[in-house]
Structure 1
Amino acid sequence: MKKLLGLLCCLTTSTAYAQGDVKQPQLIKKSTIHASITLGYGGIENPVLGADNVTSPVLPSVAYYGDDWYFDDFSLGYSLIETPDFYVDLLGRFNDDGFFFELDGIDKLYATGVIRTGTDRPTRPSASPINLTPIERDLSYMAGVASAVNVYDSVWLSAAYFHDVTHVHDGYELLLTGSREFKLFSGIAGIEAGATYKNEELIDYYYTVLPSESVVRLPKYDLESAVNYHLKVSYVYPLSDSFSIDFKLKHTWLDSHLARSHMIEKNGYFSGFAGITYHF
């Protein structure tokens, strides 16, 4: 279940499309529950050192858009202002950093397997036994305000602020994105680029290795706030009223300072999914 939850949260688009009379199966009619399931292949690279990547052959989705409120998988929103070219929403969603520690059971591992010490093999002290605290990081749910404006020919610029309302780390995120969708070979293609600012409290909670979690003395490394960048491409090709071909691929570049932390082994990661979608 956590694998599917993580895939949904990491692959959902920034902009949701709710249109009243659209017949394409990939778009959502207002006041109608839209459920679908995609069979194919996809997953998330895990940038945490020693953690496994996550893959899945199935990706379900459920969404509902009413006149004011909506849910889209695990995002919940309420529309404050909505026009064809501008909106302001109250919005809640999961923070994606927590999934890196939940998706493959990393809470069962000890820091000797997931920290980087600067050598090929960590030096273990000879004393035994060693009592360590497992690396455990909780998921947090973020809530805030999101807004977007159509600046030119279906080019949308959006901004959002999310704060931890579950008091896991009491941190916040700021998001800026630009996106555009256009018709291509009888389907709909999309491209999105953006930046996400994560404050120091959020970064420190997820990516600091505590002394009780490590059998080696780590060099002091103070984490700071981080700005991650991403680029996403997607394509939907309708086959019928019930079936479509779906493809989405996203690459996230981690902040250079964050990528040098003890827990991270990559400066970026991919997430994506491709397959045949059945729309109920």
Structure 2
Amino acid sequence: MRYIFIILFCSYGFATKAEPLDNEALQVKLGQWHLGLGVGLGVAKNPLNGGDDFPLLLLPDVAYYDEHFYFDNGQFGYTVFDKKKHVVSFISELNPEKRFFIFWHPSNVFLNSSTMSNAYSTPVIGQDDPVIDQDEQLKNINTDDISKRKWAFDSGINYQYFNKDLIVRANLLADISDVYNGWRVGLELEYQLFVGNLIVQPMLGVWYKSSELNSYYYGLSEKDNLDIFYPMDGGFQPYAHLQLTWPMSENKAVLFKLKYDDYSNTSDSPLFKYDYAVNIFMGLKYIF
């Protein structure tokens, strides 16, 4: 984790020495679809036992904004307050935790998708069950052994603050699909910097996810038919993202993206093989 933050810090240090370029061409125009496609090589590492890493070869970038409604790479929004520096919107999106159980999730597929306390809980075995090596049994559990985790649809409120090249975002979302019946709240800082023609976009953020959310996706319960009960606590999940864009023409650019999500405080769950999720992609982005 510390190496990702070092990269972001160095990017900030170098980029602030350069004069910013005109940013108008990078903005999504109101009333027009923004259609892009990333073509290159990359991988989304899956931190779960039995989970496959996902190849990243073709990543669409799809967005549409009008004065109130917008769609941005899997997120739907309706803006109710817009005063230049302060914007408030109601938003809805698929819960991103499903991405570790299936490839075709917006968090894996879209080019620009949106993108804890100690979660250890002692598993409970029935009193009449035979004596077994619990630690060994937990180590052997993978995603093929548990019940299918369903798609969940979250909705809530988003606040954004704009100050020159800095964007601050705050989100409060809850499950409205009656799948896990929990919630999550997040804070995110994004900066846009320039080194000549190179556009550097570091991002730092943190989610707090409720125990209901963590337990549904990463805990074990009676629905898994394993005779093991393993609830999870709510807690924090920090993350760091970095995007580098080198424009080659009005509709083509070299693109590098790196995403690091820290699951260290949820990784006491027996489903985790390591405590982080990494996405890395490098290639060309085409604007249509």
User: Given that residues 44 and 56 in structure 2 are in contact (C-alpha distance below 8 angstroms), is that contact kept between their aligned partners in structure 1?
Assistant: no
* Other-structure match for 1:183: 194
Query: Once the 2 structures are TM-superposed, how far is the Cα of residue 205 of structure 1 from its aligned partner?
Result: 0.9
User: Given that residues 211 and 233 in structure 2 are in contact (C-alpha distance below 8 angstroms), is that contact kept between their aligned partners in structure 1?
Assistant: yes
Letter of the aligned partner of 1:142 in structure 2?
Answer: D
* Other-structure match for 2:153: 141
Q: 1:139 to 1:159 in 2, by over 3 A?
A: same
Distance 2:24 2:85 in 1: 21
Distance 1:247 1:123 in 2: 36
Matches within 5 A, 1:27-42: 27-42=27-42
Matches within 5 A, 1:154-233: 154-211=165-222, 213=224, 218=228, 221-233=230-242
* Other-structure match for 1:75: 75
Query: Once the 2 structures are TM-superposed, how far is the Cα of residue 117 of structure 1 from its aligned partner?
Result: 6.0
Q: Return structure 1 stretches of 4+ with deviation > 3 angstroms.
A: 116-124, 210-215
Letter of the aligned partner of 1:42 in structure 2?
Answer: G
Query: Once the 2 structures are TM-superposed, how far is the Cα of residue 211 of structure 1 from its aligned partner?
Result: 4.8
Aligned residues: 237
TM-score, scaled relative to structure 1: 0.77
Distance 2:261 2:214 in 1: 16
User: Given that residues 140 and 166 in structure 1 are in contact (C-alpha distance below 8 angstroms), is that contact kept between their aligned partners in structure 2?
Assistant: yes
Distance 1:264 1:133 in 2: 13
* Other-structure match for 1:96: 96
**Structure 1 unmatched runs, 5+:** 1-20, 105-115, 125-131
**Structure 2 unmatched runs, 5+:** 1-21, 105-132
Distance 1:84 1:181 in 2: 17
Letter of the aligned partner of 2:56 in structure 1?
Answer: S
Distance 1:197 1:47 in 2: 19
Query: What secondary structure does 2:192 align onto?
Result: strand
Distance 1:222 1:164 in 2: 18
Verify: 1:254 aligned to 2:266, yes or no.
Answer: no
Q: 1:211 to 1:170 in 2, by over 3 A?
A: closer
Distance 2:30 2:198 in 1: 21
Query: Once the 2 structures are TM-superposed, how far is the Cα of residue 133 of structure 1 from its aligned partner?
Result: 7.2
* Other-structure match for 1:17: none
* Other-structure match for 1:86: 86
Query: Once the 2 structures are TM-superposed, how far is the Cα of residue 156 of structure 1 from its aligned partner?
Result: 2.2
* Other-structure match for 1:274: 282
* Other-structure match for 2:3: none
- Percent identity between matched residues is 22
Letter of the aligned partner of 1:244 in structure 2?
Answer: A
Distance 2:235 2:270 in 1: 15
Distance 1:200 1:249 in 2: 28
User: Given that residues 30 and 66 in structure 1 are in contact (C-alpha distance below 8 angstroms), is that contact kept between their aligned partners in structure 2?
Assistant: yes
Letter of the aligned partner of 1:80 in structure 2?
Answer: V
* Other-structure match for 1:54: 54
Letter of the aligned partner of 1:91 in structure 2?
Answer: I
Q: 1:117 to 1:64 in 2, by over 3 A?
A: farther
Q: 1:213 to 1:188 in 2, by over 3 A?
A: same
Distance 2:101 2:152 in 1: 12
Distance 1:255 1:276 in 2: 32
Query: Once the 2 structures are TM-superposed, how far is the Cα of residue 138 of structure 1 from its aligned partner?
Result: 0.8
Distance 2:52 2:90 in 1: 34
Distance 2:93 2:43 in 1: 19
